[in-house]
Amino acid sequence: MLPVDPENISTNPSSNEHFQDVVDRVVMNRRHVIKSGLGLSAAMFMGGALGGCAEETNTTNNTTTNTNNTTNNTVINNGGSGSAPDATISFEPIAISTDDDIKVPAGYAAAVLAPWGTPLIAGAPAWKNDLTEDSAAQEKQVGEHHDGMHYFEIPGIDGNSEGLLVVNHEYCDYPDFFAGFRAAGSAAFFADPTKWTADKAKKAQYAHGASVIHIKRDGSGKWDIVAGSTYNRRIHAATPMELTGPVVGHALVKTSADPDGKNVLGTFNNCGNGHTPWGTYLTCEENFNGYFGTLNSGTDNRNDNHKRYGIGNARSGYRWEDFEDRFDFNKEPNEPNRHGWIVEIDPLNPASKPQKRTALGRIKHENVAIAHAKNGRIVAYMGDDQAGDYVYKFISSGTFDKANPKATAHRKLLETGKLYVAKFNDGRFSGDFAGDGEWILLDVGTATTDGSTLGAKFNNSLAEILVNTRLAADAVGATKMDRPEWVTVHPVTQQAYLTLTNNSGRALADINDANPRAANRYGQIIRWSEKDSDPGSVENFKWDLFVLAGNPNVHGDLRAGSDNITTNNTFNSPDGLAFDADGRLWIQTDGAYTNAGDYLGQGNNQMLVADVHTKEIKRFLTGPKECEITGLAWTPDGKTLFINVQHPGESTGPAGSSWPSTTAGDFPRSATVVITKNDGGKIGL
């Protein structure tokens, strides 16, 4: 991780309204209950889940531990087709932990699978535990910093005992990636040509991207990699890929190496993910800007696009531009435009070429959640993970045939369609602490807030709008959000849930009625219902806050969180998010792990489970020291759960964590964790 998390630094210069302003107005509409300012209870703020979102509501009584008041929580049930799944949560929640290991509830077991450096491709060497592997070794080994992932069945094989696990590898942590880097320090390491070489830059490139991993259970039930499988594959920052959709061939994506603007080399900073009903994997390019720098920063030649996406007029942190011109934006100003997309991968076809789907927009994609519109079109929800950026929705032009889900024609569904950005409004319908919203089409004819059109600003070119997605969203007045991260869709109600991780950098002089949480250190989860429970609707949607994360161990005001946050489940910075098939909401965190100050009693990062009907939240898992918990995937029967542990020992390296090794001093390694229930039952029940 870089010293300053780039997602926390806004690059949005627009005057567009921030979502916090919307929330503040909602609070102001209730001034008669919040005259006490800081004394305002979280129960008053979040006691009513917005009945206005509901076509049908149920009421449950939840007693808040923050205020000892009882409040009625009206639960959204927006009438999706089919019966509500069994979302029972029956495990005994666990306590926080500051230990350097994985903890799960009684009756569950956790095992490590495929840590960084594990041999994957035939001929790969074993992990050395001294960081001296070269690029040739890394290209055949599992990549670093596991993130989003999905489990795929192999046709004709029992998917509950064998399948393909596709895992993202977000970035490299150089201090624990290159031998001697931590001891030398970055300046000395990069200045020494015997230490910083072209091969080391290639090694870092090969540690990015994604791994397709063929896994199988043995006779004892243990999962492991199928050695020598033809499915095993590494996709990385130097893998050839294709651009598809409206941007193909446009001048803004042409480079000296690709004058046709059709073929791209590599994918990197692969954060969250998605998957399609036709059986492909979607990997999301997030902080791509951090890989582009310049050897000549004397003159600032950056354009508005470069600045809006956060490219600095300096050397990059990864320093790949030292050896490859494509990473120097002064030499190849269009190369950054070829990154920041969603990439579709066919895990069942090792010879297939990954495809960058430009119709879905160019942002810092956290993840993508696929849903079905009632008219058969495919919907993709996406968040742009940076403080002050936006939420998007794509609707395909073509339709999906549920009777023939694996049809070849479906492979084109993400090539064309319409891209929308969200604007969140307050209280235009009945209900407390809620609002409605609208989807604004990003197309040439769309009006901008200054009386012009997107066409006038972007040369009447949809391709230019998509390359400049952030600038287009600025121009139409989209709502700034607190780092929109993972989005997921309820399997029955079709409600969308989105983590807004935090915005601790929001600086306000005073906390008052209009600004109940000035510096949002804890984050929240927002949810919305589309009109007629149809993800394909572009009419007004309705939103509320499902949970306001906080810490009642430290605070007694809104910073304590909403009334479903207690001293027993307190957490900060919700990040990964997914529903299982039964409708349980799994929440993963990537936040502060100091267990002190504002974060006292929150321990290491963790994973929790929520019942979206009662709003009850229980802690299920805690991770090792200084890690992030991320990635969620299940076998079809729901009896095996895969999650990822990213960057254990992030700040202190082997001095702070040796996970997954139990030998002190070993280098920490990201890895997948396999969770099963001792009685062989479904996870979560």
Over residues 430-452, the mean pLDDT reads 87
Q: How many CB atoms lie within 10 A of CB 241?
A: 20
Residue 58 has pLDDT above 90, yes or no: no
Count CA atoms within 13 Å of residue 362 on its CB side. Answer: 31
Q: Using one digit for the tens of pLDDT, what is the confidence trace for 235-272? A: 999 999 999 999 999 999 999 999 999 999 999 999 99
| Maximum CA extent, the chain | 70
Half-sphere exposure of 67 (CA within 13 A, CB side): 21
Phi, psi of 585 (to 5 degrees): -100, 120
Residue 307 is predicted with a pLDDT of 98
Nearest Cα neighbor of 573 from 613, 533, 522, 643 is: 522
The per-residue pLDDT for range 99-155, each reduced to its tens digit, is 999 999 999 999 999 999 999 999 999 999 999 999 999 999 999 999 999 999 999
430 falls in which pLDDT band (50, 70, 90)?
very low
Binned at pLDDT 50, 70 and 90, residue 63 comes out as: very low
φ, ψ at 145 (rounded to 5°): 60, 70
pLDDT of 80 reads 37
**Using an 8 Å Cβ cutoff, are 120 and 211 in contact?**
yes
Residue with tokens 């349980």: 584
Provide Rg for the chain, Cα atoms: 24
Dihedral angle sign, alpha carbons of residues 445, 344, 165, 384: negative
**Could you tell me what percent of the chain has a pLDDT over 90?**
81
The pair of structure tokens assigned to 215 is 């896994």
For position 630, what pLDDT does the model report? Answer: 98
The torsion region of residue 635 among left (phi > 0), alpha (psi -120 to 50) and beta comes to: beta
CB-based contact 503:520 (threshold 8 Å): yes
pLDDT of residue 13: 81
pLDDT of residue 79: 32
Q: Is the pLDDT of residue 2 over 70?
A: no
Give dist(CA 645, CA 370) in Å, integer.
Answer: 24
Compute the Cα dihedral for 346, 349, 350, 353 and give only its sign.
Answer: negative
Fill in the DSSP letter of residue 479: P
Both structure tokens of 166: 């596709």
Q: Tell me: pLDDT of 666 over 90.
A: yes
The span from the CA of 158 to the CA of 269, in Å, is 33
Q: Is the pLDDT of residue 432 over 90?
A: no
pLDDT reported for residue 32: 31
Q: Nearest-CA neighbor of 363 among 345, 388, 389, 330? A: 389
Contact 321, 294 (CB under 8 A): yes
The pTM (predicted TM-score) of the whole model is 0.91
**Spatial separation of the C-alpha atoms in residues 359 and 379, rounded to whole Å:** 12
What is the distance between the alpha carbons of residues 45 and 24, in angstroms, rounded to a whole number? 11
**Residue 203: phi, psi to the nearest 5?**
-55, -45
pLDDT at 538: 96
In 549-661, DSSP assigns E strands to 574-579, 585-589, 606-610, 617-622, 628-634, 640-646
Task: Quick: pLDDT tens for 521-540.
Answer: 999 999 999 999 999 999 99
Kindly state the percentage of the chain with pLDDT values over 70: 86
Residue type, 221: G
DSSP state of 553: T
Tell me how far apart the alpha carbons of residues 333 and 254 are, in angstroms, rounded to a whole number.
Answer: 10
Flag whether pLDDT at 34 surpasses 50.
Answer: no
pLDDT at 353 over 80: yes
Average pLDDT over residues 330-342: 98
Confidence of residue 15 (pLDDT cuts 50, 70, 90): confident
Which of 79-93, 457-471, 518-532 is predicted least confidently?
A: 79-93
Q: How far apart are CA 621 and CA 609, in angstroms?
A: 9
Owner of token pair 């069942």? 348
Q: Which residues pair with 108 in a beta bridge?
A: 677
Q: Mean pLDDT across the stretch 273-301?
A: 97
Residue 452 has pLDDT above 90, yes or no: yes
Q: How many residues does the chain have?
A: 685
Label residue 343 by pLDDT band (50, 70, 90): very high
pLDDT in tens, 499-526: 999 887 765 443 322 233 668 899 999 9
* CA–CA distance, 563 with 159 (Å, rounded to integer): 40
The per-residue pLDDT of the chain, averaged, comes to: 89
Alpha-carbon distance 386 to 513, whole Å?
26
Chain Cα centroid distance, residue 160: 26
CA distance 605 to 535: 32
Confidence class for position 467, pLDDT limits 50, 70, 90: very high
- Helix, strand, or coil here: 188? helix
pLDDT at 23 over 70: no
Any idea what the Cα angle at residue 574 is, between residues 542 and 474, rounded to 5°?
55
Question: Which residue, 153, 155, 119, is CA-closest to 137?
Answer: 119
450, 280 in Cβ contact below 8 A?
no
Return phi, psi of residue 325, to 5°.
-60, -25
Question: Distance between CA atoms of 516 and 335, rounded to whole angstroms?
Answer: 43
CA distances from residue 105 to 192, 619, 683 in whole angstroms, order as listed: 49, 9, 11
Beta strands in 218-364 (DSSP E): 223-225, 233-235, 240-244, 263-265, 270-275, 281-285, 342-345, 355-357
pLDDT at 507: 55
d(CA 325, CA 317): 15
Q: What pLDDT does 18 receive?
A: 75
pLDDT at residue 340 in the model:
98
Would the pLDDT of 1 be above 70? no
CB 10 within 8 A of CB 386: yes
User: Bigger pLDDT: 474 or 68?
Assistant: 474
Confidence tier at 70 by pLDDT (50, 70, 90)? very low
Evaluate if residue 359 carries a pLDDT over 80. Answer: yes
Q: 465 pLDDT band (50/70/90 cuts)?
A: very high
What's the pLDDT band for 431 if we cut at 50, 70, 90? very low
Spatial CB neighbours of 534, under 8 Å, sequence gap ≥ 6: 373, 374, 494
> Do 223 and 109 contact (CB within 8 A), yes or no?
no
Q: What is the four-CA torsion angle of 462, 468, 471, 472, rounded to 10 degrees?
A: 20
Of 586, 592, 606, 585, the C-alpha closest to 650 is 592
More confident residue, 578 or 431: 578
- pLDDT interval class at 273 (50, 70, 90): very high
Tell me the backbone φ, ψ of residue 443, rounded to 5 degrees.
-150, 170
Question: Which range, of 44-53, 251-260, 298-307, averages the lowest pLDDT?
Answer: 44-53
Residue 433: its pLDDT value, please? 59
The pLDDT tens digits of the residues spanning 613-637 come to 999 999 999 999 999 999 999 999 9
Tokens of 460: 């009447």
Measure Cα distances from 235 to 346, 354, 360, 519 in Å.
11, 9, 21, 39
**Would you state the structure tokens that stand for residue 66, as one six-digit string?**
């923050």
Predicted pLDDT at 503? 82
* Least confident span in 216-230, 378-392, 414-428, 569-583: 414-428
- Contact between 542 and 526 under an 8 Å Cβ cutoff? The reply is no
Mean pLDDT of 480-504: 94
d(CA 199, CA 163): 33
